[in-house]
Amino acid sequence: MWRQRQYLKAGRVVKEEEEYAYYVTSAEPAAYSVEKLLEIIHGHWDAVENGSHHRRDVTLGEDASRIAKDEGRNGAHVMATLRNLTLGLFEWQKHRGEVQGYVPGWRRQMDGQQAVMLLKRAA
């Protein structure tokens, strides 16, 4: 699939990119039109963005963090990974019936030593 992207700043195009994007599917080639495949791909990535990013922002204040600005892109990636780990550990404990409620309350109740012990149990 050929893809064109435009990066905007203050409503103006500041950068343009064009590239081939490759996607793998188990669908038969004639099963979907190009338009339908594009819709499916957009739907998938929209769910990823709205699911994980929205949760990281609402429960862990990701968008308010200044790490990307102060520490650079690597720091932001590390913190996103740690936030994903936090959400994953919460969901794991919730699935096992060990915790109830929501992430902010769970997070406030845990100290560093408890977090390390939880990581050891999960491994």
Q: Tell me the C-alpha distance between 65 and 63, whole Å.
A: 5
pTM of structure:
0.52
- Domain assignment present for residue 14? The answer is no
- Domain assignment present for residue 101? The answer is yes
Listed as ranges, residues in the chain with pLDDT below 50 are none
* Cβ neighbours around 103 below 10 Å, total: 20
- Domain assignment present for residue 73? The answer is yes
**pLDDT of the residue at 117:** 83
Token couple for 116: 């390390």
**pLDDT of the residue at 123:** 67
- Domain assignment present for residue 77? The answer is yes
Counted domains in the chain: 1
Residue 117, domain extent:
33-122
What is the identity of the amino acid at 14?
V
**pLDDT of the residue at 72:** 67
